[in-house]
Structure 1
Amino acid sequence: MSNSLSQLNDHLFAQIDRLSATGLTAEQIDTEVKRAGAIVSVSDTIIDTAKTQLVAAKLFAEHGNHVLPMLPQIGSSTDIEGEKS
């Protein structure tokens, strides 16, 4: 499985297609609704993480290396410069 927001988008639209399929039994609809709820829950977490990463990258771009101690998800400045810390 690919781990990209594009793939996530594909999964979300595939679930919409499954939810709107005609001829589903009540049991199948219930199963798809439960699956959709689980997908949405996980998707929300993935999207929130991506937003946090974007904010961190923006802070780094605007303020440089001195913000790195406050942004542990980016790593140390030596990691960014290509050296091991």
Structure 2
Amino acid sequence: MKNKLGDLNNHLFAALERLSDEDLNSDQIEQEAKRADAIVSVADKIIGNADLQLKAAKLWAEHGSQIMPMLPKIGSSDQ
């Protein structure tokens, strides 16, 4: 997969466009609302992950490798 955050933005706007379709009946609106909720839930996780990556990059930029001993060893068997 080669998705980017810009692709996420496109999916969110597409969901908004589907929800604003005036030709939908109440069942279709309900289905689109559930679909939009699922998209938003996944989007929140993606955005949270991107935020974590940005924070890590900022720490590295500010402190270099000297920050490593202060970070938890994620995935390490000696936790």
Q: Matched residues in 2 for 1:6 and 1:52: separation?
A: 18
Q: TM-score with structure 1 length normalisation? A: 0.78
Q: TM-score with structure 2 length normalisation? A: 0.84
Residue identity over aligned pairs, in percent, reads: 53
Aligned to 1:55: 55
Highest RCO, 1 vs 2 (Cα 8 Å, sep ≥ 6): 2
Question: How far did 1:68 drift?
Answer: 2.7
- Aligned CA-pair RMSD: 1.6
What letter corresponds to residue 39 of structure 2 in structure 1? Answer: I
Counterpart secondary structure, 1:66: helix
- Aligned residues, how many? 73
Q: What are structure 2's unaligned runs of at least 5 residues?
A: 75-79
What letter corresponds to residue 44 of structure 1 in structure 2? Answer: D
